[in-house]
Amino acid sequence: MSMRLFGALCAALSLSFTPLLAQEQQVNYHLSFPNAVHHEAQISVTFTGIKSDTLQVLMPRSSPGRYALHEFAKNVYSVKATDGKGKQLQVSRPNPHQWDVSGHQGEITLSYTLFGAHADGTYTGIDETHAHLNMPATLMYALGFEKAPARVTFRIPEGSNWKVATQLRPLNDSTFTAPDFQYLMDSPTELSNFEFAEWTVQDHGKSKTIQVAMHHHGNKAQFDEYVAKTKQIVAEQQGVFGELPDFDFDRYTFIACYGPQAIGDGMEHRNSTIVSSSRPLGSATTALLGTVSHEFFHAWNVERLRPATLEPFDFQRANMTEALWLAEGFTSYYGALTMYRLGFNDVRNVARDLNYVLLTPGRHYHNLVEMSLQAPFVDAARSVDPHNRHNTFISYYTYGSMLGLGLDLTLRRDFNTTLDAYMQALWQRYGKTEKPYTMADLERTLTEVTKDTAWAADFFRRQVYGSELPDYAALLAEAGLQLRKAEPGKASLGAANFEFSKQGAKLVNGTYVTSPLYKAGLNRGDILLTLNGKKVTSEKELQKIMSKLKPAHSVPITYRSSEMAPIMSTQIVLEEMPELMIEHFENAGKELTPAMKQFRQAWLGTKIK
């Protein structure tokens, strides 16, 4: 999640360099890419107006929009320092992500090589076609210079035709400025020969510019379709809140990178988002626009409407908050809802997320608040040891999204109001004013929207601090949508991924504690040899065996924990295939009443006026 710029900072966005602080302390970066083909950048940074005997220079360990540690210093090498006269200075290394320099006479230039080969929303990716820069993964910073203005100059490779897309303020085609360290770290930048489009949106008499800068391998028609649909997404979400945020410089930029060199991701920032995928335009346009929809909603929710526990963002530790169910979860709900309202996706797709939340056991271990606090362990975090999160964790993105669905439909059915109204109320009080909210603020605002203190308190107690879920079947029926078993009467072993061979079917994932496989004693790495007396050597053979069995049947199995382990035998009690599906009443032979049709239209109809 990107940094808030506090009210006092907004006045500094003119970036006038006349104040005393700006005269005393400045930061100047230069980036060049002479060895881009091998994923390297050459970077130098000059710190002017140093107040201490020893300058402590650091590489960030975390990044806006992420909650886990990433240790970006691992990609930094060949570090050198000189003073203002070019004299070489000694650099010491007190810890893995810090460099200390002394003997500087008030100015130091630090130079280093950066390796970057992972183009997504968190890391940096450099090659001969582009430089895709997430600033915390790219730029060092110095303690004591957090409030100093920064200037960044990009040296474009000769003959490359690269341009610069960023939310930083341009001084010219190659030099850009940020008012302080926080804004600089929040400003991802793409350098490439990207395709570009922009348009103007009128917002309460004020003109705001929306831009799309895309590095991709598609064609012009595909790019134009993407831009046209992005315009609709912007307008639809503007309709939810009734206005756009006040973007700094009245400009918002979608920075997109689609191609084999990219990693699937999306990351929100104050006045921009960076979206990436290895999937191409054309065949994957709808999926890519789903990410666009999610990230743009963050321009309100998270970028300005922010939990107090994320303030201030600390670049040297994991950042966490108990409110990710709203910050990320409700954003996921509205990202999908926008696509439904525009007709880009079908609301029946919500069954996938409902299946995940309803059928996996994580709610028995943690509530939504506790799921949010797990973020430093799951949000692009990396580990080498096996874990049990398939049992103990449900993503706050999806769990929070389904909470949003339930709350939206409940507000419409029982209170003649909507989740849109709740988000608008939060926006006016805490987002537009950029006053960080607490959990108590969220409950208090729900009370104001519903005019029912007891109900709001009960909702938070049961569904936020507790693990209860609403009756989704009854709520969806209000809109003439039926939630039912997708394959009633079909037997199942439970969710499992098998790797088949002549020896048998090896479980490549952990089993759910609620599944027949778990209850029979099988887990990751075990090899299922026979089921009901028949060998299991292929997916086709397993399906053939299962087709002759029924739910609740107890059948014999044999298995072993490894290829050399002894054969074990036990009984497994099959379950009915639990997966759910959603279908329209009119397609299920059920009556769609005028009230249901009206409810559905009010919920899923476009908000574009």
Could you please report the per-residue DSSP string of 189-248? EEEES-EEEEEEEEETTEEEEEEEEEE-SS-HHHHHHHHHHHHHHHHHHHHHHTS----G
> Which class is domain 26-188?
mainly beta
Residue limits of CATH 1.10.390.10 in the chain: 323-485+585-604
pLDDT at 609: 84
* Residue among 180, 184, 297 at smallest CA distance from 239: 297
Task: Pick out the chain residues at pLDDT < 70.
Answer: 1-23
Burial class (CB in 10 A: 0-12, 13-18, 19+), 562: exposed
pLDDT at 382: 83
**What region, left, alpha or beta, does residue 55 occupy, with left being phi > 0 and alpha being psi -120 to 50 degrees?**
beta
pLDDT at 479: 98
Residue limits of CATH 2.60.40.3650 in the chain: 26-188
Could you please report the per-residue DSSP string of 342-399? TTSS-GGGHHHHHHHHHHSGGGGT--HHHHHTTHHHHSS---SS---HHHH---HHHH
The pair of structure tokens assigned to 133 is: 């820069």
Q: Which CATH code is given to the segment(s) 491-578?
A: 2.30.42.10
CATH 3.40.50 fits 195-299, yes or no: no
Residue 455 neighbours by CB under 8 Å, 6+ apart: none
What pTM does this model have?
Answer: 0.94
pLDDT at 563: 85
Can you identify the CATH homologous superfamily of domain 323-485+585-604? Answer: Neutral Protease Domain 2 (1.10.390.10)
Specify the DSSP class assigned to residue 547: T
Distance CA 427, CA 431 (A): 4
Residue limits of CATH 3.30.2010 in the chain: 195-299
pLDDT tens digits, one per residue of 382-430: 888 989 999 999 999 999 999 999 999 999 999 999 999 999 999 999 9
